Structure 1
Amino acid sequence: MTLRLLTLMVFSCWLVLVQPALAQETERVPALREKVYGQLARAQEQADKGDVEKGLTILKAVEEKADSMNSYERAMMWNFYGFMHYEQGNTGKAINYFEKVVNEKPIPDSLQKSTLFSLAQLALSDGQFQRSIGFLQQWEALATEDEMSKSWVLKAQAYYQSDEFQTALNFIDKAIAHADAEQETPDENWLILKRALHYEMNQTQQVADVMERLVTAYSKAEYWLQLAGVYAQLEQSEKQLAVLEAARQQGFIEKGSEWRQLAQAYYFNELPFKAAETLQQAMQENKIEASVDNLKFVAQAYTQAKEYQRAVDVYKKASDKVSHGNFSAQIAQLYLNLGNNEMALEYANEAQVKGDLDSAGNLYLAEGIALLNLKRYEQAVASFELAQEHEAVSRSAKQWLKYAKSQYEHQQQVAKLK
């Protein structure tokens, strides 16, 4: 799911239409007569029971007498039409009828104001972003100063959906700044929108700044993990690790990919043993699959930490899952590091039998060194001769070959003397 769609879904929950209330308001407007009131009440009653069609039929009968009704009565009738069409999911018709409400003059300011805001919300949800902005501009003429944040946020969403990111950012920043000035916590959705805007504008540091506010004000697993991901993008590995450790302490690390992310953060912060132990434990507790890739990572981390025997044990598990000889070759090298030359030769042979090696040169080099250590100089010479044919290790192999030949010649001379 794209970030744009996700943000639209989050903000769609804002759309709240107030069901028409049949209360008479007489300030500067005509009265709502009892007869009209009764007919509208009947329509509302049917809609409340779930029979919207019957409610619309009653309204149609009322509409036939529209010429004899005053502006307030007609406005209330259009209001009921709009609400019922909205209930049926017909947003286009709902907008048309709500516009009829605000076009009636005179009507109570409260009705005009609430209807204009509903129109702005409906137009936004229907993808009519410029119309939504237009309705908001009319609404602002009736709103008080402390209500303006509502308009700024909806405008920000409309401009965001219109790809006018900087304009959208200006409005959402105004809303957040107003909340800050009042020492109030900005609404969670406002921060989500601000984050999305910075993301669209490739402003990664600003995304991180917003995520820091989200984890502070609305501590959720997704925010902690997203913040860690942003720090990784910014190559701020220490901050990434600190956030992931905090997430782990709060029980937010659950998915396999999250355990892998934590282990990698340890590894990149030069904590390979902790990286290996973290993923190893996660696999043992079935929090993450003991896949070839995960086993390989653990083995490499143990190797980096110079925990060679642990690395051998994990590489053996990985080797059982594959047909190639690369892991056997790694085991051979590790046994060489451990000073176990016989086992190094055993796994070097296994690697050659399996084949499909990524670096045969390194394997022949390790094999030659193990043979050299065992004073099997003639065989060592043969291994180094094979190794020197591989460019990656050719120079090193030639040096070892020269030494192995000298040792072999010396061995031969000693044998003759004996």
Structure 2
Amino acid sequence: MERICGRILAAGAVAMLVLAVAPDSPHGILPGVAYAADAPPRLDGFPPTPIQTEDMERRRVPNMSETTYRKFGQAQELIDPCPEDPDNCEVPRDPDGALVILHEMLERSSRYNGNELGQVHQMLAVIYYNDKDDTPNTLHHYEQLLAQVPEITEALEQGTLKTLSQLHLQEENFDTALEYMKRWFAISYNPGPSEYILVGQIHFQRKDFPAAAQALEAAITLAQSRELTVRENWWAMLNYAHFEMENYDRVIEILEILVRDFPKRQYWIQLAGVYGQEGFEREQLMAFEAAHVAGFLDKESDVMTFGGLLMQNEVPWRGAKYMQVGLDSELVERTPRNLQQIGQAYQLAQEVDSAIGIFEEAGSKSDDGEIYDRLSSLYLEKDEFSKCRTAAERAMDKGGIKKLYNVEIVLGMCQFNLDELREARATFVKARRTAREAEESSAERITQQWIRYIDNESKRRAELEAAGI
């Protein structure tokens, strides 16, 4: 919280602190006070907002005597010896001297009326907060200031309630902070957005996100109706509250406002994430595209996510090239997982040579047989049967393959094309058994066809050999 500074005027205007504690009197509808039916938003559990009428009787407070005024002047001069030019003041401040004067006044408290005592406690609270960093004494004197009601002005009472609320929020006394704001709303005629924001912050710290959202929504609505600026952190807090409540439709609405009015990386990434979570895949891609154009994708996770989205949306070549740039610039680490994703993008883009190079590197760094499974298929596609056989065998050695019968089928095909008919048949027999155990009838049918074909080919060759051909 900002330090309190500035002149403390002994006769009336008093510098207010902005924070909170809760007196003993109950909050709620006050006797003799009118309340508005269509006033600023009323929060759950809070009293209605009173309305101000022309014939309303103002609170009368006792005057300050000339002697008291002089005492305040002495204390003020010790706190602020050069009010006209504090930056070039050569007279040292003496807050301890001011404390002596003010405590002497309290020792003779019977001489002073409530208004005068209120000013004493207010000045003491400011000194203890600003100069002594003494929160307990600060709270004590603000509480004593409130004890002078009704002999202090409504404005001073309201300001002190809000100050105590903020102080208790700072001290993590959240329930007490909330009670002070309830008292503030009960006597304040025209609450503004900042008061609703304070209530929202208190509920936010209490992890009461529905109540926090209600207060924050009220603050924003009120600010908009009065054509006041809605601050970025108001939207950010409201977004967090709705996210915690899993109100994702509202989260999207708020994030769309944030990326429009306060375009930052975090909001674009969050928006893209929620779009994806809610199944809006096109919008998710567009959000990442906008973040990319704005230069916000500066983390490895950003690059790999955007590249993956491009793959999913049938532009794998662009995804592969985008991730490759991240790899070459060392923004993306050459981990097996990253390399495998880039290799998949190249494979989908039918960039076989590029895919093979990436998968070879990934395979050398991983114990995952899936990588060599992909490599074996790529080598088969290029008619590099020896390399295909080696990759398939490595895949099975490393293990972890989800569909083992597939790599066994590829191995059998490579062996067949290397004219290793006996080995190929044995591999297909094994693949047939694996497919049957996995209840994959189509794969089992393929293996059976290959076995039959190899048997026929072996028979044909034997007949040719017997015929001397």
Same fold (TM over 0.5): yes
Give the superposition deviation at 1:395: 3.9
Write the distance in 1 (CA, Å) between the matches of 2:189 and 2:241: 27
- Given candidates 150, 157, 173, the residue that maps to 1:112 is 157
Moved more, 191-200 or 324-333: 324-333
Alignment: residue pair count: 402
Q: Who is 1:34 aligned against?
A: 70
1:416 pairs with 2:466: yes
Q: Who is 2:399 aligned against?
A: 356
Matches within 5 A, 1:256-267: 256-267=300-311
Give the superposition deviation at 1:415: 2.2
Write the distance in 1 (CA, Å) between the matches of 2:223 and 2:152: 32
- Given candidates 107, 120, 127, the residue that maps to 1:77 is 120
Q: Who is 1:134 aligned against?
A: 179
Runs (5+) with no aligned partner, structure 2: 14-59, 87-91
1:290 pairs with 2:277: no
Q: Deviations over 1:231-272 (max 9, x none)?
A: 121121111111111111111111111212212222232332
Point out which structure has higher relative CO (alpha carbons under 8 A, 6+ apart). 2
Contact 2:239 / 2:255 at 8 angstroms: preserved in 1? Answer: yes
Q: Deviations over 1:369-392 (max 9, x none)?
A: 123334443332122122223134
* TM-score between both structures, scaled by the size of structure 1: 0.85
In structure 2, the CA distance between the partners of 1:327 and 1:172, relative to structure 1 (3 Å rule), is closer
Matches within 5 A, 1:237-276: 237-276=281-320
Give percent identity, aligned residues only: 24
Give the superposition deviation at 1:20: 6.1
Q: Deviations over 1:17-39 (max 9, x none)?
A: 56661252399442251123203
Give the superposition deviation at 1:298: 0.8
In structure 2, the CA distance between the partners of 1:23 and 1:268, relative to structure 1 (3 Å rule), is farther
Write the distance in 1 (CA, Å) between the matches of 2:413 and 2:97: 92
SS of residue in 1 equivalent to 2:298: coil
SS of residue in 2 equivalent to 1:388: helix
Contact 2:192 / 2:222 at 8 angstroms: preserved in 1? Answer: no
In structure 2, the CA distance between the partners of 1:171 and 1:356, relative to structure 1 (3 Å rule), is closer
Contact 1:259 / 1:282 at 8 angstroms: preserved in 2? Answer: yes
- Given candidates 434, 447, 450, the residue that maps to 1:400 is 450
Matches within 5 A, 1:76-225: 76-87=119-130, 88-104=132-148, 105-140=150-185, 143-145=188-190, 147-225=191-269
Write the distance in 2 (CA, Å) between the matches of 1:381 and 1:390: 14
SS of residue in 1 equivalent to 2:433: coil
* TM-score between both structures, scaled by the size of structure 2: 0.77
Q: Deviations over 1:342-395 (max 9, x none)?
A: 33224334545x543525432221121123334443332122122223134444
In structure 2, the CA distance between the partners of 1:235 and 1:89, relative to structure 1 (3 Å rule), is farther
Contact 1:266 / 1:272 at 8 angstroms: preserved in 2? Answer: yes
Write the distance in 2 (CA, Å) between the matches of 1:33 and 1:242: 67
Give the superposition deviation at 1:315: 0.4
Write the distance in 2 (CA, Å) between the matches of 1:311 and 1:51: 76
Q: Who is 2:44 aligned against?
A: none
Give the superposition deviation at 1:123: 2.2
AA matched with 1:21? I
Give the superposition deviation at 1:283: 0.9
Contact 1:388 / 1:397 at 8 angstroms: preserved in 2? Answer: yes
SS of residue in 2 equivalent to 1:35: helix
Moved more, 20-29 or 207-216: 20-29
Write the distance in 2 (CA, Å) between the matches of 1:223 and 1:45: 48
Write the distance in 1 (CA, Å) between the matches of 2:241 and 2:94: 42
AA matched with 1:197? A
In structure 2, the CA distance between the partners of 1:18 and 1:136, relative to structure 1 (3 Å rule), is farther
In structure 2, the CA distance between the partners of 1:163 and 1:50, relative to structure 1 (3 Å rule), is farther
Give the superposition deviation at 1:296: 0.8
Write the distance in 1 (CA, Å) between the matches of 2:206 and 2:366: 51
Moved more, 37-46 or 211-220: 37-46
Moved more, 343-352 or 51-60: 51-60
Q: Who is 2:20 aligned against?
A: none
AA matched with 2:447? A
In structure 2, the CA distance between the partners of 1:255 and 1:215, relative to structure 1 (3 Å rule), is same
In structure 2, the CA distance between the partners of 1:64 and 1:309, relative to structure 1 (3 Å rule), is same
Write the distance in 2 (CA, Å) between the matches of 1:206 and 1:135: 30
Give the superposition deviation at 1:326: 4.0
Q: Who is 1:331 aligned against?
A: 375
Write the distance in 2 (CA, Å) between the matches of 1:291 and 1:29: 77
Give the superposition deviation at 1:142: 5.5
SS of residue in 2 equivalent to 1:33: helix
- Given candidates 384, 392, 400, the residue that maps to 2:428 is 384
Q: Deviations over 1:212-246 (max 9, x none)?
A: 11111111111111111111211211111111111
Contact 2:10 / 2:119 at 8 angstroms: preserved in 1? Answer: no
SS of residue in 2 equivalent to 1:196: helix
Q: Deviations over 1:256-291 (max 9, x none)?
A: 112122122222323322222221210111111111
Q: Deviations over 1:172-229 (max 9, x none)?
A: 2221112222344422222122112212221112111111111111111111111111
Give the superposition deviation at 1:56: 4.3
Contact 2:78 / 2:97 at 8 angstroms: preserved in 1? Answer: no
